[in-house]
Amino acid sequence: MRFLVLLAPLLLAVAAHAAPHQDRTNDLDQALNANNKGLISQFDQVRQSVTDRTSELVVSAVGFLGVPYRRGGNSVETGFDCSGFVRAMYNQTVGMVLPRRAEEQARATEPVARADMKPGDLVFFNTMRRAFSHVGIYIGEGKFIHSPRSGAEVRVEDMTGSYWQRRFNGARRVEAVQGPVSAGE
């Protein structure tokens, strides 16, 4: 009997000592879950920001349908050539200054597999017997917007058409982590 009397307080002490540890574990689990939710929330916000910017870029680009082509042009007032159009859209909507020429834009961006293209990606074509001689902005569903050539206007084209399909050089993505490219390029 004496053994049970001594054992009971010992068991109570062990249980009392274990309870705070259990609470600490629960507190830690709750803190980690809250932190994960915070990280997930931050990730979702960044993803939404990128989606918003991409949507804004595409909507903005579509707003320039009908602006005439002009070699060396880089504004609505003067007209656009292909790379001037892309550069103006990224500068106005995303705040990034891309290089001036199509082949320079290709070098300053990251390759994307055709299957992984997203609206806002750049699509490049060989239209002058050299790689990356023409650029447009992918808008989704196999279509892109660009300023094609003298006598034409900013318009949407289907990439699956035989002309564009034969000349496709690849897609590239403008990575936000690159930061702006200096205006002198």
The H or E element containing residue 138 is strand 134-140
3-state secondary structure 77-108: CCEECHHHHHHHHHHHHCCCCCCCCHHHHHHC
Distances (CA, A) of 102 to 81, 150, 159: 10, 16, 18
Return the DSSP state at 149: S
Residue 21 annotated to the active site: no
87, 101, 134, 172: which is the annotated catalytic residue?
Answer: 134
61, 67, 82, 145: which is the annotated catalytic residue?
Answer: 82
Residue 82 annotated to the active site: yes
Give the torsion through C-alpha atoms of 53, 55, 56, 58, to 10 deg. Answer: 120
87, 100, 101, 146: which is the annotated catalytic residue?
Answer: 146
Rg (Cα) of the chain, in Å, rounded? 28
Pick the closest to residue 175 from 125, 116, 113, 111 (CA basis): 111
Catalytic site residues? 82, 134, 146
